[in-house]
Amino acid sequence: MADLAPTRLAQRPQLSEEVADHVRTLIMSGEIRPGDFIRLDETAATLGVSVTPVREALLTLRGEGLVDLVPRRGYLVSPMSRQDIEDIFWLQAELSKRIVDRAITRYDDAAIEAHARLIDDFEAASAAGHADGVVHAQYAIHRFINRVSRSDKLSRFLSNAARYMPYRLYAEDPEWRAGAIVDHRRMLQALRDRDLETAHDVVDGEFANGARLLVAHLERAGVWDEVREPELAAEA
């Protein structure tokens, strides 16, 4: 079910959040599909943790609408439509544009220089084909814009929405990485010039492309090939 080392999560704080992130990524990347059961014992053994943080994680995911609880059967992955994916990315785009509106007036020379270094980090990780480094650099760039905007509540809402994005899926795609570098540099220039129209255009393009790529990936994974019935017979 996972390619994490058995003791990796056991060494981290906030285990339930780590487990929730892991299972959420499996769902959003199509590795587990609507109608599939998520076994507590199996998941715990795979991640090298006890059943308790797995149960807590699944309660969190239930609250997000990603899994359903079947009485006396356990948790199974909830239905997810193409529109759900589009909505998630639309929400992120709208929140991001609002944050950029506030950040753009606060970008001084020091902020521009710091932002440029983060883009350099992204480009270096991309050139090395280092997916984890790309994910980290992508997160750092967006977090920096959020911090400059001084919009703590909006940034928290955006962070919650961004949890649904399987970033590694994008980071492993050389074409996406090349496009992201162009977008990052366009955004930096827009922030330098205080060109809000271009900044919004970059945001809209980034999230529209992200939604398109994820929908296409899930289609290839067969997520919407058929309506899958819960595996109740196997659980009886």
Q: CB of 53 within 8 A of CB of 215?
A: no
Task: Record the tokens describing residue 15, joined without a space.
Answer: 């285990």
pTM of the model: 0.83
More confident residue, 41 or 226: 41
Q: Is residue 224 pLDDT above 90, yes or no?
A: no
Nearest-angstrom CA–CA distance, 225 and 215: 13
Q: Is residue 236 pLDDT above 50, yes or no?
A: no
Nearest-angstrom CA–CA distance, 52 and 215: 33
Residues 6+ apart with CB under 8 A from 185: 119
What is the homologous superfamily of the domain 82-220 according to CATH?
GntR ligand-binding domain-like (1.20.120.530)
Residue 5 is predicted with a pLDDT of 39
Q: CB of 140 within 8 A of CB of 117?
A: no
Where along the chain do its domains lie?
9-80, 82-220
Asked: is 9-80 a CATH 3.30.56.10 domain? The reply is no
Residue type, 78: S
Question: Which pLDDT tens digit goes with each residue over 175-214?
Answer: 999 999 999 999 999 999 999 999 999 999 999 999 999 9
**Do the first three CATH levels of 9-80 and 82-220 match, i.e. the same topology?**
no
Residues 6+ apart with CB under 8 A from 180: 122, 126, 138, 170, 206
